[in-house]
Each structure stands twice: as structure tokens, then as C-alpha cells.
Structure 1
Amino acid sequence: MGLYRRGPTWWMNFTYNGRQVRQSTETDDKKLAEKIHHKVMTEVAEGKWFDRPLGERKTFGQMMEKYMAEHSLPNKTPKSHLRDKSLSAHLLRYFESLRLSQLSPKLVSRYKVSRRQEGAKPKTINNELALMNHALNLCVRDWEWLRMNPIDKVSKEKVNNQIDRWLRPDEETRLLASSSQWLAEIIVFAMSTGLRQSEILDLKWEQIDLSRKTLYIAEQKNKDKDVLPLNAKATGVLKARSSVRQLRGGHVFLNQNGGRINARNLIRAFRNACNKAEVKRFRFHDLRHTFATRLVQAGVDLYTVQKLGRWKSISMVERYAHHCPESLRPGVEALDKIITNLSQSPQKAEKKGSRKTRKPLSLLNCGGKI
């Protein structure tokens, strides 16, 4: 029984109903920890203390503050951390003042209805709930704030993951003709590499080896480091860019002032080009879908597509990759070959059988004449 330190924080160790209890005082001040310990011991002696998790006294806002500071910021990329902050803003608006013990599937269901009424898409709502669920799991496993996740069994929103938009050859011709030179180079490069918008805009010459025709990606969505091969079109774009820019340092794709292209300016120019080319319902990210779709339609196996596009799983590749009717035609034509072969098999067997019976008949005839 008594106090002990775990890191900078003082913890209590005492016996309750014959069972040893360890609980944090949530302070690094020894004098304050002693007062908390004395209060708990008094409640235990008077029968007023109950073994309740710390989370029953914590609010949702305190949980998200701890999650952002101790998990999201140190463990995720800056962009993913900013995304977490954006997602948590919607959650805090609804749950911030609630104690964790008050959370329930019913409240979360109301939250989903509220977000749908605000116009949030199912995937956005699922991302928000996934963040909330992860924080609550940390409360159970790592922080010992809760014994169980109160929303663990809440159902997700139904999302249509199938991507049905990629650039057709005729649309590509019109889009490139409607784009300025700098935008056309980025479009061709995106379709040839499958790089994301941010990866293209952040691309620097130090990541490129033109002699080996390779591209090095260090910081990316899946936190891996990859060296990717470059095809002829991508290499052609880079050689064109290198002729007007020194190979040492700096971004590959530049604005008029020689700096990094702003993402909003890129999207604005891209939308204008799509409108001019009459390419409808097409986003810049769909260039990445086009990259995957064309690889699959060319007969490239899904594992290779996954590695080239740097997706985490084959199932993610299946969402992006599609077949056009012509790429599926060899599959149905295989049936024609099978049917033809089956129909020819009896005829061949009959011919073979007739040949076997001719020989003894001819011998019999010959024998008759003799």
C-alpha cells in the first residue's frame, strides 16, 4: 500500500475487497498525490469508494486533447495530423463536454443523423467515427481510462467504394489540348506515375535519378519509402523540365515566380481545363484512378499495380481498377474456343473409328477375289 512513481506520475497501490488496485493520481506533485491517496483511503474505509475507471471523470474533450498531443502529433505525418484535427472539430462540437461514461451507441447514432443532415458524406462520417473509436481504444488499452469501448459495436455508414471514373483516350486528347503547357505536363506525369497531387507538387529534383529512370518517394500517405520506375512519358516530362531548370535542388514543377505551385491554383486551372474540354465529373485525383485502371486493362497483375501505386492492400487496388468491355472480350471469346473444340471432338472420334473398320473390310474383299 502506498504511492509509487510510474514515469513522472504518482500512482496509488492499495487493497480493495481483497483485490489489489493500482490507480494513477494524474499528477507529478508528490504532496498533491499524497492528498489524493489519503482521500481515497478515507473513502475506502467508509465504504464510499467504488472501483471506477478514471474515464468516468474524464470528458470527451480531455480525451481528444490527449489523443492529439500524445498519439496523432508524434506518430502521424503532418498532413494526417491536420486531417485528425479537422475530423475532431466536428466530434468536439457534439461531444466535447460529455463525460466518457455518458457515451453510448444511441448518442453516436444521433450524431450520424445530425452529420447527414448537415450534408456530410458517409465516408466522412465513417472517418470521424474511426478517429473517435481509435481514441477510445487507447483509453482502454493504454491509458486505463475505460474498461471497454462504449461505441465499439456502432455500425458504419454504407459507402459506395467503387470508383467508376477514369479518363478515356478521347477525353485525354481534349483535356491536354485545353490545358496550358505547365498543366499538361503535370497531367501526363500524374497519369504515368500514379502520384498523388501533393506528391507531385512537393516533388524535388533530388528525388529523381534520370540516368536510372527512377523516382524516390520518402514521405507519403502509407509512411513507407519507395523507389519507383519511370516510363518513357514520365521521363520525357522530367527531361523537358530539366532543360529549363537546374537539376540541383528546388521543386520540379514551378509557378511563374519559380516557387512551388499552390494546390488551389492547380485545382482551379484543372477545373477550367476540364470545363473547356467538356470532360465532366472528373477530379484531379481521378488521374490516379486512370493510372491503375489502364494498368489492369493492359493485363498487369494486381500485385504489381499495388506496388506501383503504393496501396496498402489488393482490395484497395480493386476499388480503383476497372475493365472496359474490350479488355474483357478475351474472357468470353475463350468460351467460343471451348465450345468449338467440344463440337469437333465427336467428329474426330468418328473419323478415327471409321478408319479402323476400313482395313479389315478391304482385306476381306481382297481375300474374296483370291
Structure 2
Amino acid sequence: MNIQRIKTLKGTRSILTYWYRGKRYRPVLGYNLTLDRERESALEIMAAIHANSLEPEIKKAPIPLTGQPSTLTFAEFVPIYLQYLKAKRPKNDGRNQTVLTHHLIPHFGNKKLSDIRLEDGLAYLEKRRSVLIGPDEKKRHVAPGTIERECAALMAVLNLAVDMDHLDKNRLKRLPVPEYVKRERIVEGWELLKIREAASPNVWRLAMAALQIGLRENKLIEIHEEWLMQRGDGWWVVPSPGQTKIKGVPKMVPLNSLAYEALFGKTPRIGGRFFHHWKDGNSFKHTWMRTCERAGVHDLHFHDLRHTFTTWLTQCGVDYAVIQTLKGEPLPGSAKYYIHNWNARLRDAVTRLEAFTKAVLSGENDVQVPVTATWVPLASGSESLSTRNVVPRD
């Protein structure tokens, strides 16, 4: 159950979103309701939905008692899982829904939850490992990390079914999830040099902005000229607030000369967004993948540049509190209330980062490379590890 409140000319309208047996209901509860009245109206409507749905076929298959297996199919239970996920993570990015609808439902959809066996999971793994994706001239197998995320989504659905007594136990618990060597989520020096050679000017500008400003992909693409502010010590960017407190957004970030050049580029501009070529991170994703393929860099996600930003600041000797402030992450305890005069320390941090980045781009072998990174000369043509660390999602 989810209640959305929208301000209209009549007042605040309360809308209920409720999934029941694979169908979504969005009735209007009323206007300017108190929280108690809103909840009462929602419960009344939910009871009416349940009553009107009791058709003869439902009476033949009553809701099972605790401990009895459910007659729901995998496809019928997925909306229940998505409703739960929406309540747990209101700002969920939707990747789980894409995995479920594009891959898992076509394979498991018609099976009853109680009929899903380990053999079905093994068949799914074999199918996904054998399929080829991508354009005709560059067909490739599905990455092990992608299959691992799909298995994590499958397990999350079945485990929730167990918790809600729609399933007695998860029979895929021993499904052998793909194992592989996980790469460090930072860009190495030789990779950055290869990307500079392969990237278009606008892609390289965005990559450099990520390494020097540290904002997330969507927020970088949103940067507008109106966000810039010039002070006595130089230019600063003031991002718009984030939609959720989970993903921190800094109040202000100083721009070093590399960040300024990355934003303005070398071609004349009319104004507006600096990276208007892309709508958001999703529209840029495939451009970045093709750039990395041309560069011979494997499994480097654009978000890994934010990890690199943080790692390089650490290697430059910037203390933890300054790094957290540049990233927009909260400081532990009451530190955020008692530490003041950040501007000079933030400016010093990005100045150090600029010098470090220039050393990396110059190909200096004696540059202080991030911990766990391995310096490989540009001419060697070596490749990075082929996979990245993936945390299973609910």
C-alpha cells in the first residue's frame, strides 16, 4: 500500500496505489484528509477490492493457510514483490523490475512457486551463459556480473515468497551463482590514457568532470550555467539538491582548472546545460560502453570514476572529513555541527587533485597510483580485469 499526496486547486488529493493479484488499483481517497481519515479510507477501499475480486475461480483456490504452498505462479507473485520493494525503497532505480520482466518472468513466469526446482535454475544459468548479445559485428556473451544480479533478484523474490507463506522453502538456495575475479572499482592510469585517445571531446569532458568534481552521473549531466558561482578564490558549482537523502549531494564544490575546462570545453556555447547532449545517465550509458570498447578497457562503469575521485583524494593526503564533504556524504556524530570554515580546505583538496590528475595524464611512471592499482605502460596494450564487484540487490 502506497499513498501519494498531490497538491491541486481543490487542495491536497490523496491517491492510493495498491496491487492485488497482479492488478494495480489507483483510487482517489479524497481531498484534504487527515492521516487517520486517509488510512480509514484506504482500508475500506482495499476491503472492497478484495470483496469484488472473490470470483468463482478464487473460491476454488482459497488463500492458503500458513505452512501450505501457494498456487500463485512466479509471474503472479512478482507484482507483490515489486509492491514490497517500492515500500522498502521508494526511490528504487527500477533495475530489478527490468531484470524480472525481461529475463526472469519469460523463463519462470508460468511455473507455480512451489514447482520451481533447482533444475530450473540450472537451466536458466545455462541459457543465459549461452546467449549472445550486442550488435551483429560485436556479439558477446552476457557478463557474469549481469547473471549474478539476475540470480540475486530471483533469490529476493523467492525469499519474500517464503516470508509471506506463499512458499514453504526456497529450493534454489543452492543454485551455483557465477564466481569470477572482481576488479577494483577505480580507473587505472593506463586505462585513462586509452580512454582519452578513444573518447569523443564531449565524452572526455564528462569523464574529466567526474574525476574532478565527483558528482554522480545524473547530477553531472544536469549541471547548468546557473549553478556556477564565482568567488574570490575561483569558480564554484552549487548543485541542485538530490531527490533522496540516501545519495548525498554536496552543497558546493570548488572547480579547479581541469574541472572548469571540462565544463566549458573549447567550442563556443550559447548557455544552459553543459552536457545537453544527453538527457540522463541512462542515455549516456551505451555511449560510455562503446568508448571503453574502442579503448580496450573492460568492465569499467562510469560510476567507477566517482570511486576514483575519492581514492585519488585519499592518495593526495586529503583527510576523511574533507572528502566526505566534497562528496556530499554526512559526517559521523556531531562533526558536521562543530567543524566550520570548509572553503579553504575544499579548495586545497581540488588543487591537489588537479596536480595528481595532470601527472597521471602525462604518463609519469613515478606518479603515486591508487592503492591496489597496477601501473601498465600505455604501449603494452594490456587489459584490466574483466569483471567488477557486484553487490546483490533486493
Aligned mate of 2:79, from 43, 65, 69: 65
Verify the 8 A CA contact 1:10 1:30 in the aligned structure 2.
no
Deviation at 1:202, TM superposition (A): 3.2
Rounded to whole Å, the distance in 2 between the matches of 1:30 and 1:116 is 41
Q: How does 1:295-310 map to 2 (within 5 A)?
A: 295-300=313-318
Q: 2:313 corresponds to which letter in structure 1?
A: L
Structure 1 letter corresponding to 2:82: M
Residues 50 and 216 of structure 1: CA distance in aligned 2, closer, same or farther (over 3 Å): closer
Contact 2:264/2:274 (8 A) holds in 1: no
CA shift, 1:92, in A, is 1.1
Sequence identity (%): 17
| 1:99 maps onto 2:112 in alignment | yes
- Residue 260 (structure 2) pairs with residue 236 (structure 1): yes
Report the AA paired with residue 178 of structure 2.
Answer: E
Is contact 2:215–2:249 with CA below 8 Å preserved after alignment? no
More contact order relative to length (CA 8 Å, sep ≥ 6): 2
1:164 & 1:224 partners in 2: Cα distance?
18
Contact residue 88 and residue 131 of structure 1 kept, 8 A = no
Paired residue type of 1:230: P
- Alignment equivalent of 1:146, drawn from 167, 170, 194: 167
Aligned amino acid, residue 203 of structure 1? I
**Secondary structure of the residue that 2:51 maps to in structure 1?**
coil
Q: Across the two proteins, how many residue pairs are aligned to each other?
A: 279
Which secondary structure does the structure 1 equivalent of 2:70 belong to?
helix
The reply to whether residue 29 of structure 1 matches residue 52 of structure 2 is yes
Q: Which runs of 5+ in 2 are unaligned?
A: 1-41, 132-140, 331-369, 377-394
What is the Cα deviation at residue 178 of structure 1?
7.0
In 2, the alpha carbon distance for the partners of 1:137 and 1:86 equals: 17
1:213 is paired with a residue whose SS is strand
- How far, CA to CA, are the matches of 1:179 and 1:63 in structure 2? 44
Structure 1 residues 64 and 193, CA gap change in structure 2 (3 angstroms): same
TM-score by length of 1: 0.56
Distance 2:121 2:102 in 1: 15
Superposed counterparts of 1:206-355, under 5 Å = 211=231, 213-216=236-239, 218-219=241-242, 223-227=246-250, 229-233=253-257, 235-237=259-261, 240=264, 244-246=269-271, 250-255=272-277, 260=279, 268=287, 275=294, 279-281=295-297, 283=300, 285=302, 287-288=305-306, 290-300=308-318, 322-324=372-374
Q: Which amino acid aligns with 1:229?
A: V
CA 1:225–1:89 in structure 2 vs 1: closer, same or farther (change >3 Å)? same
By how many angstroms is 1:90 displaced?
Answer: 0.9
**Cα deviations by residue, 1:145-204 (Å, 9 ceiling, x for unpaired):** 2344333454422132223872527954x7657766544432321221344444322334
Contact 1:289 1:321 in 2 (8 A): no
Answer yes or no: is the 8 Å Cα contact 2:74–2:110 preserved in 1.
yes
Report the alpha carbon displacement of residue 81 of structure 1 after superposing the two structures with TM.
1.1
Structure 2 match to 1:355: none
SS of 2:123 mapped into structure 1: helix
Shift of 1:140: 3.3
Aligned-residue offset at 1:232: 1.0
Matching residue's letter, 1:160: V
Distance 2:64 2:76 in 1: 22
Q: Which secondary structure state, in structure 2, belongs to the residue aligned with residue 57 of structure 1? A: coil
Q: TM-score, normalised by structure 2?
A: 0.53
Instruction: Give how far 1:29 is off.
Output: 2.8
Tell me the alpha carbon deviations over residues 290-331 of structure 1, each in whole angstroms, 9 at most, x when there is no partner: 43443344345678767756899xxxxxxx9634579xxxxx
Query: Residues 88 and 128 of structure 1 are in contact (CA less than 8 Å); yes or no, is this contact kept in structure 2?
Result: no
- Alignment of 1:126 onto 2:140: no
Please give the alpha-carbon distance, in whole angstroms, between the structure 1 residues aligned to 2:84 and 2:53. Answer: 23
1:136 to 149, 155, 158: 158
**Equivalences for residues 161-240 of structure 1 within 5 A:** 161-163=182-184, 166-168=187-189, 172=193, 176=196, 181-205=201-225, 211=231, 213-216=236-239, 218-219=241-242, 223-227=246-250, 229-233=253-257, 235-237=259-261, 240=264
Structure 1 counterpart of 2:177 = 156
> What is the SS of the residue equivalent to 1:225?
coil
The answer to whether the Cα contact below 8 Å between 1:199 and 1:220 also exists between their aligned partners in 2 is: no
Give the match for residue 111 of structure 1.
124
Q: In structure 2, give the amino acid aligned to 1:58.
A: L
The residue type paired with residue 273 of structure 2 is H
Q: Which amino acid aligns with 2:127?
A: S
CA distance in structure 2 between the aligned counterparts of 1:30 and 1:262, rounded to whole angstroms: 41
What is the distance in 2 between the residues matched to 1:163 and 1:113?
Answer: 27
1:50-88 per-residue CA deviation (whole Å, 9 max, x = no partner) reads 84657520000101133335534994547x215522444
For 2:64 and 2:196, locate their aligned partners in 1 and report how far apart those are by CA, in whole Å: 70
Cα distance in 2 between the residues matched to 1:311 and 1:160: 29
Q: Secondary structure at the match of 1:28?
A: helix
Which AA in structure 1 matches 2:205? E
Q: Which of structures 1 and 2 has the bigger CA Rg?
A: 1
Any conservation in 1 of the 2:310–2:323 contact (CA below 8 Å)? Answer: yes
